[in-house]
Structures are given as structure tokens and as C-alpha cells.
Amino acid sequence: MSKQTDVMKSLADARPARLDPSGTPPLPFAPRTEPITGARPRRFRAAALIPAGALAAAAIAAVAVVVVNGGATPAPSESGSSVEATGRLTGSQILLAAAERSSQEAPGSGRYLLFRHENGSVLTVGSGTATFRMTAKSSDETWLARAGDEPTRVVSQTLGLTPLTPADEAAWQAAGSPATVLVGKPLPNGEVGPGSPVGTGAGPRRVSTSDADVYAFLPVRDLEKLPTEPAALRAALLKHFDGGGGDMPTDRDQWLLNVASGLITDVPVSGPVRAAAFRLIADLPGTRSLGVVADQHGRTGEGFAFTAQSAFTGAIERRFIIDTATGRALGQESRVVKPGGTTSRLRPGDLIGYSVVLEQTTTDAAPPTK
């Protein structure tokens, strides 16, 4: 296997499952033959050395970002204007303000890094002759020993499937409100393979462990030692750029956008490292402001977005919502801009999935064992 293929496979295997752009994230209800545990031990891969910020064109928004003033969410665009409306921060201004807040964050003193997410993926499901869309939700809670001397624990739970829109709910009810639906497996050519039965109810809470002492391709103890200057961080990331391909952009700047954004939302790095990631993104072309928006839990912040393009997924707009008081991400979402590959059956503007950041902290509390 070539270095390029090996790196890309490791990226795909290790990134959080909620960020799978193919529309078939390995959630507990996705088609599979092995027993369902709800855990995702594939996060922890000791072989690779790339930060998991190298997320592919992540697909993460179940419901459109809602503009706080009640106006309609603007349709995604492949390129944003550099001139923002009067009174609205530009994308770069949002990023630099978040960097300033993040750089002031005091280092945590707890023994464990603890972070929790709620995740959702929009799936097209069927029952009988009816088809409709449902949001499949799950939660995860990860405990990392900062010294890297204890197993990593992941607490996960399937939260069930709910109709995406009132029209989908009407279609589901017309089908008899089935407790089990069929979920097809999207194929690379955009076709949908045979469906697998999936229950729409919530699943049990599960705890799994991993003996690996790495997270996001780095030893846990080194996560907070990543470069804190944007130029140094850029150089460190680009050491692993082999031209992209697959579901990663081949354009270097787009690749960097995908990589650095993962440090903001999914990798438990320190405030100064996160600040460097914000500043790195601010220096790259392609970001645009969304203004004041709300995440899936109704928390408001400043939003920015960029479009990730690949032959594997088409063009997907990734949207980020930042808490301006702390410089931390509240969540991220995505929708289709230009269908292609695994999204070829979707329409421009269709939503794919979301991730809400519920907690990122350090703690001395004992992690759960069951």
C-alpha cells in the first residue's frame, strides 16, 4: 500500500464516525453484520502520525442553521463575497476574535480530558413502498488520561431516529409509524444498495475501552504540545499532505481548511493550539461569515463556513458556530452545495448531518466503568 493510500485510509478510519461524508456513518443503526456496540474504537490508531484534524469533507448537519432574527437561512454558496453586510463580522474577523479568546484560555489541571458530543445524520429510509428522511442521533463521551497511562474510555448511546421535517413525519405516520425502517447503503456512484432493518428507538448506554495511548494519531500526552503559532502549525500539518484524493480535497488550501477545522471541533487541544488553528484558517481563502446563528440546541454564536470539494462527495458546505465569549466551537453542520459522488442523489441545500459540542474540559473525576 502506498504512503498516500495508507495515510488516507488511516484518516478515514480514525476520524469520528459522525463526520462521515458518504452518508453512511458507522452509527449503531447503519448496515453492518458485526454486533453493535455503539463505541468507535477506530478513533485510536497508533500507526499514523497525523492529527485527526484532517477530517475529510465532513458531512455534519441534520437541520439548517437557524438565523437568530428569524430570517431564512441563506442557501449555501461555493464562494462567499469578501464584502460582508454592514454590521456583520467577516469570516476572518470571526476567526481572529475566536483566536484571541482561545489564546487567553487557562490550561486545565485535571487528570483527564473529557469531551462530549451529540451527533446526527440525515438518512433516507423506507417502509413498504414509502420513503422519507429521518435524523439518526447518537451521543458520545470520551475520557482520555492526559499522561497516556490509562485506557481510553468511550461512553456512547444511540438516541434514535426522528422524522426530519413535518412532511417526513406525515409520510412516516402514513406508513403506520413503523418502529423499524430500512436504511440503504449509499454507493460511490450515488446509487443505493439493499436496505437493512433498523429500529427507530434509543439504545442502551455503553462503555468501551481502548488500550491505545493515542488519540487523533498522536500520543495523548502530546496533544497539547502541538505548535501554538499558525505558521508552525501549518508547516506541521503540511508534512502530511500528499496531494489529497479520495474524500479529501486535492487543493492544498482546501485540505488545510479541513485539517485545521478538526482541531477546533474534534481534537481536545489546548486553547493556544486552538487559537493557532483559528488564525491558520483566517489566512486561507474561502471562508465566509454566516452572522449570528444557533446550533442544534439553540445556543447562539457567530458562524463561518467554507466549501469542501471532492470527486468522492461533490461540494459540501461546512458550517461552524463559535461561542464568541470563549472562542470554543458550539457545533458544526453541513449541507450539499453541488451533488456528486456519494451525494449525487441529493439536492443543493440538502442537509446531511451535525455535531454539537456539549463539553470539552479537564477533570479529576473518575471515568465511568459501566
**What's the mean pLDDT in 304-331?**
89
Rounded Cα–Cα distance for residues 303 and 155 (Å): 29
In a domain, 369, yes or no: no
Q: Say which residue, 298 or 129, is predicted with more confidence.
A: 298
> Residue 222 contacts by C-beta under 8 Å, 6 or more apart in sequence?
none
In a domain, 368, yes or no: no
In a domain, 271, yes or no: yes
Q: How many domains does the chain have?
A: 1
pLDDT tens track for 47-91: 222 223 222 223 322 222 222 222 333 444 433 333 444 467 888
Contact 355, 18 (CB under 8 A): yes
> Amino acid identity of 292?
V
pLDDT range class, residue 291, cuts 50, 70, 90: very high
| Domain ranges, residue 183 | 3-363
Is the per-residue pLDDT at 2 higher than 80?
A: no
* Cell output for 132: 422519507
In a domain, 150, yes or no: yes
Rounded Cα–Cα distance for residues 118 and 78 (Å): 27
* Cell output for 337: 452545495
In a domain, 116, yes or no: yes
Is the per-residue pLDDT at 157 higher than 70?
A: yes
The pLDDT value recorded for residue 256 is 87
In a domain, 370, yes or no: no
Please tell me the pTM assigned to this model: 0.72
In a domain, 230, yes or no: yes
